[in-house]
Amino acid sequence: MSLPHAILTALAEKPSSGLELTRRFDKSIGYFWSATHQQIYRELGRLEEKGLIRALPSARPTRGQKKEYEVLPAGRAELTAWVTDTEDPKPVRDALLLRVRAAGVVGAEDLGAELRRHLALHREQLAEYEAIEKRDFPPERNAEQDRLRRLVLRGGIGLESFWISWLDEALAELEEIDGGRA
Amino acid sequence: MSLPHAILTALAEKPSSGLELTRRFDKSIGYFWSATHQQIYRELGRLEEKGLIRALPSARPTRGQKKEYEVLPAGRAELTAWVTDTEDPKPVRDALLLRVRAAGVVGAEDLGAELRRHLALHREQLAEYEAIEKRDFPPERNAEQDRLRRLVLRGGIGLESFWISWLDEALAELEEIDGGRA
DNA sequence: GGCGGCATGTAAAATGTTACATGATTTA
DNA sequence: TAAATCATGTAACATTTTACATGCCGCC
């Protein structure tokens, strides 16, 4: 149940319309909590109904018109409570690991191509994160918010690095297996 | 759409009943593709309907009676195709990273306790994986299936190791922030 | 014959995905 | 004024989660 909190966080950082939120979920926030515009609009409606956010007065309620939202005190309170809540890590669900296990059962031919493709994707993502780190977090930016945002980014960097090194290991292993088979 | 494939993989490794599958999803397979018994029973029904698996003849169709399934050739073909399919990695969705970002907005007090709790959980999980590696994958087990299963396990080990080192970093950062605040 | 554990399921709600629909604004 | 783009939404469906319901079986 984190989508509402992701939206509250984004709005607390900066009041926005649904489309602007969608854009920010395509980068930044979305790097670790993705959402489509349909989810966002639905959730904005619910949050408004619950009194956690409101549309800015300027916004007329017609379709096709931009409608900006801001967080209300109740929303900020909800967010504060959630931050220190007890919530266990979700069990991992990773299709690629599952596919490697399946390959153990039905045979690993041609698995290499897909692994190499993923490797390239993760390298790209890592490069993107590192560019952001260089651009947005120079050493002089030291406010609490900057430090925490950088920490989150370093989570992304660590995850991508993990995948890259695991995929390297996996490809080496596949070569050995194929060697044994030839 | 990997749950059916997770189940096909598990059944291909060993024909099982719904409850046995549930047990195996609580360890082993479930370490990287979790599922509840409700999901498993429903999916078994669908897979049977599609002709990818079948209930073993011995199984009578009454409620409360054990019912074992095995994979049919069509199921094995489906699994083989899926292994080499092109399927992009899913965008990350991690509530803890999101909560740290939210803490940047509403304040990071008391975040430490939750981070320490997660750290302990990840350390436990890592220890469990390492015990399995020692127990199930001694160097002499070298068949293709063993190598691939070990590779998957090493994925789990790498992921847990990443979280542990990120949480260490995060806790150090929090201390510095609190130091600056005091 | 009742109780606890094994085993299979149903129902409802929340969440996420995919495809489509509609109005407003800009610009060629 | 037509096309492109911005912006908000609906509808239908699939998946996941949570809570509950039911039947069988051994054992005391």
Half-sphere exposure in the Cβ direction for A48 (13 Å, CA): 15
Structure tokens, B145: 């299936």
Could you check: is the Cβ of residue A159 within 7 Å of any atom of nucleic acid strand C? no
Q: Scan residues 33-62 of chain A and list those with Cβ within 7 Å of strand C.
A: 34-36, 38-39, 62
Return the closest-CA partner of residue A161 out of B152, B158, B96: B158
CA dihedral B148, B150, B155, B160 (to 10 degrees): 170
Two tokens at B142? 């070298």
Q: Encode pLDDT of A24-47 as tens digits.
A: 998 889 999 999 999 999 999 999
Reading the block at residue B128, the tokens are 């469990």
Shortest distance between the Cα of A66 and any Cα of chain B, in A, equals 25
Q: How do beta strands A53-55 and A68-71 pair?
A: antiparallel
Query: What DSSP assignment string belongs to B121-139?
Result: HHHHHHHHHHHHHHHH--T
Contacts of B87 (CB under 8 A, 6+ apart): A95, A96, A99, A114
Structure tokens at A161: 């690095």
Instruction: Give pLDDT tens digits along chain B (182 positions).
Output: 799 999 999 999 999 999 999 999 988 899 999 999 999 999 999 999 999 999 986 545 566 678 899 999 999 999 999 999 999 999 999 999 999 999 999 998 889 999 999 999 999 999 999 999 999 998 887 888 899 999 999 999 999 999 999 999 999 999 988 877 76
Q: Which nucleotide is nearest to A66 (CA to C1')?
A: D7
* Beta carbons of B49 and B68 less than 8 angstroms apart: no
